[in-house]
Amino acid sequence: MTIAYGNLSADRPLERLDIKRRQPGPHDVRIDIAFCGVCHSDLHQARGEWAGTVYPCVPGHEIVGRVSAVGTHVSGFRPGDLVGVGCIVDSCRHCYECDDGLENYCDHMIGTYNFPTPDEPGHTLGGYSQEIVVHERYVLRIRHAEDQLAVVAPLLCAGITTYSPLRRWNAGPGKKVGIVGIDGLGHMGIKIARAMGAHVVAFTTSEAKRSEAKALGADEVFVSRNPEEMAAHARSLDLIVNTVAAPHDLDAFLILLKRDGTMTLVGAPASPHPAPQVFNLIMKRRSLAGSMIGGIPETQEMLDFCAEHGIVADIEMIPVDQINEAYERMLKGDVKYRFVIDAHRWHDGTISLLVMRVRGESAYGPDKRACPCGQAGSTLGNSESGGAAKREHPCGRPHRAGLLS
């Protein structure tokens, strides 16, 4: 059994559940989850705000960890590798979209949670859990430093969801790019657009975020609740990526686009936006578009781009049993800027060796992992359980717990 956190119906809080993962098949990778980001989509789906949530619902699609086992035919990953899993765990693998590496638009895409699967209980269960088993095609390689794993997790959804439209609509030098909504997705959008070389304009409803958005890399910050401030910038932007999670007036942003400019919606509110004025589109040949996460090759490209440019998320780490409170705080915009679940906290007295490595600790858990020295591991290193003494391994060498798998 694998420990997970999920809910049994839309009106119930998330709670601890025991779930079953399949044994790795020939092409499967089993991942010991270290951290999982908390996306607003998790909240939408756990609470049944989008049609079709099936229960139990175990959310989580910003997963990072270490490979613990691979199937016999897996060639691209080995036990011990640092990897990520985003929003996709399967697709048909032969349609036009899959052939183009756009599995996110495959009609048979299987999301990381809440999609049909032959595995128990008949739908996929996500990353608020100890481990996950995923076909190798949908596993991403992480090239950031190991001690950045927690701040890399949000790239797996918030990163790719903003990277993909920024690439698609050519954000770069000479382009003025707006990012609307400065939290989980939006703060990543600012960092990525800036690294692409664009002039970045952040739009927020919060006066307090004026200086914060600049610190994240925005060249300019507009408070969207201030009509005069917005009007002063009419027809000035090439592209807007709108991450807002609630219905709002799209015209206020469309009029800021230049001729031929595009606003791409990535925010997915539970109910529709008021319809925009057609004249705001036709008068300047503007486009209103949408974009959903990204395909697997583009997600790998985004991870590599972020590693190269030193881009990570700004996070607040939480133990999983604070997830319900975190959802309430996310609704109020009370997080800077992404919650990340610290997955080792559910390992029931056995602190994850990977997490200890990330924290610069060294000890051995009472589990099956062996020291690279080859000698059997000693017990017991649990800095979380209040007082259990840490003991070093009998080989006496400095231990790189992250190497143990």
Q: Which of 165, 92, 154 has the alpha carbon at shortest distance from 330?
A: 154
Interface ranges with Zn ion (CB under 5 A): 39, 41, 91-92, 95, 98, 106, 157
Least separation in angstroms between CB 293 and ligand NAP = 4
Decide if residue 243 touches ligand NAP (CB under 6 A): yes
For residue 193, count other CB atoms closer than 10 A to its CB: 30
Q: What angle do CA 10, 15, 20 make, to 5 degrees?
A: 100
Q: What angle do CA 162, 114, 189 make, to 5 degrees?
A: 10
Least separation in angstroms between CB 182 and ligand NAP = 4
**If contact means CB under 5 to 8 A according to the sort of partner, which of Zn ion, ligand NAP, none does residue 266 touch?**
ligand NAP
- CA torsion through residues 387, 393, 397, 402, sign: negative
**If contact means CB under 5 to 8 A according to the sort of partner, which of Zn ion, ligand NAP, none does residue 277 touch?**
none
Burial of 274: CB neighbours in 10 Å, binned 0-12, 13-18, 19+: exposed
Among 34, 244, 296, 363, binds ligand NAP (CB under 6 A): 244
The span from the CA of 135 to the CA of 124, in Å, is 13
Among 7, 41, 262, 299, binds ligand NAP (CB under 6 A): 41
Among 70, 134, 182, 351, binds ligand NAP (CB under 6 A): 182
Among 184, 365, 377, 381, binds ligand NAP (CB under 6 A): 184
119 close to 126: Cβ distance less than 8 angstroms: no
Q: Which of 330, 181, 309, 306 has the alpha carbon at shortest distance from 247?
A: 181
Number of amino acids touching ligand NAP (CB under 6 A): 29
Q: Which of 339, 265, 306 has the alpha carbon at shortest distance from 160?
A: 306
Closer residue to Zn ion (CB): 67 or 98: 98
Least separation in angstroms between CB 142 and Zn ion = 17
Tokens for 113?
Answer: 């949670």
41-68 per-residue burial string, b: 16 or more CB within 10 A, e: under 16: bbbbbbbbbeeebebbbbbbbbbbbbbb
Closer residue to ligand NAP (CB): 52 or 396: 52
**If contact means CB under 5 to 8 A according to the sort of partner, which of Zn ion, ligand NAP, none does residue 299 touch?**
none
Span between the terminal Cα atoms of the chain, in Å: 19
Return left, alpha or beta for 231; rule: phi > 0 is left, psi -120 to 50 is alpha, else beta: alpha
**If contact means CB under 5 to 8 A according to the sort of partner, which of ligand NAP, Zn ion, none does residue 95 touch?**
Zn ion
Least separation in angstroms between CB 40 and ligand NAP = 3
**If contact means CB under 5 to 8 A according to the sort of partner, which of Zn ion, ligand NAP, none does residue 109 touch?**
none
Closer residue to ligand NAP (CB): 132 or 218: 218
Decide if residue 205 touches ligand NAP (CB under 6 A): yes
Least separation in angstroms between CB 96 and Zn ion = 8
Closer residue to ligand NAP (CB): 269 or 366: 269
- CA torsion through residues 35, 39, 44, 50, sign: negative
**If contact means CB under 5 to 8 A according to the sort of partner, which of ligand NAP, Zn ion, none does residue 181 touch?**
ligand NAP
Q: Which of 20, 12, 42, 23 has the alpha carbon at shortest distance from 128?
A: 42
Decide if residue 246 touches ligand NAP (CB under 6 A): yes
Least separation in angstroms between CB 109 and ligand NAP = 11
Least separation in angstroms between CB 163 and Zn ion = 13
Decide if residue 333 touches ligand NAP (CB under 6 A): yes
| Choices 18-26, 107-115, 127-135, 238-246; region in contact with ligand NAP by CB under 6 A | 238-246
